[in-house]
Amino acid sequence: MSRVLEMKAGAMSLSDLRQIHEKPTAVNLSAQDRGRVALAGALVDKIVAAGEAAYGINTGFGLLAHTRIPNDQLELLQRNLLLSHAAGVGEALPDPVVRLILALKINALAQGHSGVTMGLMNSLLALLEHEVYPVIPAQGSVGASGDLAPLAHLSAVLLGLGQVRVGGARLPASEGLRIAGLQPIKLRAKEGLALINGTQVSTALALAGLFGAEDIFAAAVVAGAMSVDALKGSDSPFDERIQRVRGQPGQIAVAREYRELIAGSAIRASHLDCTRVQDPYSFRCQPQVMGACLDLIRNCSVTLGIEANAVTDNPLLFTDAGEVLSGGNFHAEPVAFAADTLALAIAEIGSLSERRTAVLVDPKMSGLPAFLVNNSGLNSGFMIAQVTAAALVSENKTIAAPASVDSIPTSANQEDHVSMATHAARRLSAMVDNAAAVIGIELLAAAQGIDFHRPSRSSLRLEEVHAGIRRDVPFYDSDRYFAPDIDAARSWVKSGRFGALLKRILPSRSAS
């Protein structure tokens, strides 16, 4: 049974959006939103009845915008638009992303600038409510003139065309409509264009990347704190005074989290008089690097929060003045920049984590048994786990190259500059997967290092994390088939379980 979210169009919070991404969620529209939709639909009817030429209402599209379409062919015009634009390829987008796309499209159309009918809105709402998710190929959008191809695949389902997923099973769209209690719709003037024009696919993918970035960020902070104790490192670099004199807000916030995670550690107390002067940068500079990543994540959350509540189709109707204005809100440059920025943060979070693992497995650096296993030589321990982390980090560095600097003209040069936001955002999922494995390996390594310091114990909070790790993965006392341990650790990171420990500083969790 889907949860129900009472939506106020144009005012969805990041916590609302995370909820939709994480679990099936139905949406209720307010009476005010329904009234705005009706007013915009009436303006379209008035334009058609008066015979006025208006782009996308009674004209062709793109280069064909000067072609006037007779009133008796307006429904066919909108239908043909969906059929011709459903030209995507590749793997289907996952259900959580499709849920977000549906919710974002509803959120945009309900603001009363798109000229659709409540009949169409009710159909979109029913798909969300009954968990009938259109099968949307992931590739085929350049992130300008909207996400045309993927949104056409979503919209074609309303005509009874294409496929849907229900409970993970693929079904014909016609069967999906039946499950949702719907019949194929007949599109009215402007409706097809309103459906496929917009940045909802790019934005949904970027939001999924944002939520993933928050999850790996939280896990990396916890893993980094555990690694400090595993190394018998210093907590002096987290002193509030150091952060205050630099003034970077992310650094200040993250250092506080490290201080509180480590506070009360008996392992730390056991080496207060040691002769080591400074720890390696990957330990000592965690507030500076992770703080900078947090600032990037927060900045991107603002951009994506705005875009999630934006009206991004074209043309737009302004019912108070009775005007139809053609512009370019469909250009997803803000989303492309945000996605590229998140990619930088994700790459750096993983990079710093791998360096800490590399230190822990090196007996010259850590003072721990070589590769974190007894009887090393006979046992290889974490040797190749660290190699796996290194490989994934390097892969992420390659994937992180910016997409937004690229552009290629389309539609006979009418659409001569595009954002590439869609694949800029889509690649974040692979980067999060890679980073989650890297951080999972560090969590295993740090837990192993802490075990070597027994009977001394870490802080109360870190011992709780350690106990959670050991419930799933036992101490690595001799070589065993390692892959299941890493898979388990990656799943912890991706589950968001560490987000609760840093809830107050993560954008989509701090308001929930």
pLDDT level of residue 58 (50, 70, 90 thresholds): confident
Q: At residue 286, what is the residue type?
A: Q
Query: Of 456, 457, 455, 448, nearest to 477 (Cα)?
Result: 448
Length of the chain equals 512
Between CA 343 and CA 489 the distance in angstroms is 22
The mean pLDDT of the chain is: 95
Query: Residue 320 in 3-state DSSP?
Result: coil
- Whether the per-residue pLDDT at 111 is higher than 90: the answer is yes
Query: Of 101, 105, 129, nearest to 116 (Cα)?
Result: 105
Catalytic residue, from 55, 281, 476, 481: name it. 55
pLDDT at 2: 75
Q: Is the peptide bond before 369 cis (omega within 30 degrees of 0)?
A: no
Query: Of 73, 99, 84, 67, nearest to 207 (Cα)?
Result: 99
* CA dihedral (411, 415, 418, 422) positive or negative: negative
* The two three-digit tokens of residue 115, written as one number: 């000229």
Q: Is the peptide bond before 172 cis (omega within 30 degrees of 0)?
A: no
pLDDT at 63: 73
Between CA 302 and CA 437 the distance in angstroms is 27
DSSP codes, 266-302: HHHHTTTT-S-----HHHHTHHHHHHHHHHHHHHHHH
Q: What is the pTM of this model?
A: 0.96
pLDDT level of residue 428 (50, 70, 90 thresholds): very high
Between CA 351 and CA 358 the distance in angstroms is 11
Percent of the chain with pLDDT over 90: 90
pLDDT at 411: 82
Write the pLDDT tens digit of every residue in 340-358: 999 999 999 999 999 999 9
- Identify which has the larger pLDDT, 236 or 145: 236
* Mean pLDDT along residues 245-267: 97
What pairs with residue 5 in β-bridges?
Answer: 27
- Whether the per-residue pLDDT at 87 is higher than 90: the answer is yes
pLDDT at 277: 67
* Mean pLDDT along residues 419-448: 97
- Whether the per-residue pLDDT at 512 is higher than 80: the answer is no
pLDDT at 275: 67
The conformation of residue 147, written as its DSSP 8-state character, comes to S
Q: Is 55 part of the annotated catalytic residue set?
A: yes
Among all chains, which residue has been given the structure tokens 């989303």? Answer: 335
pLDDT at 60: 80
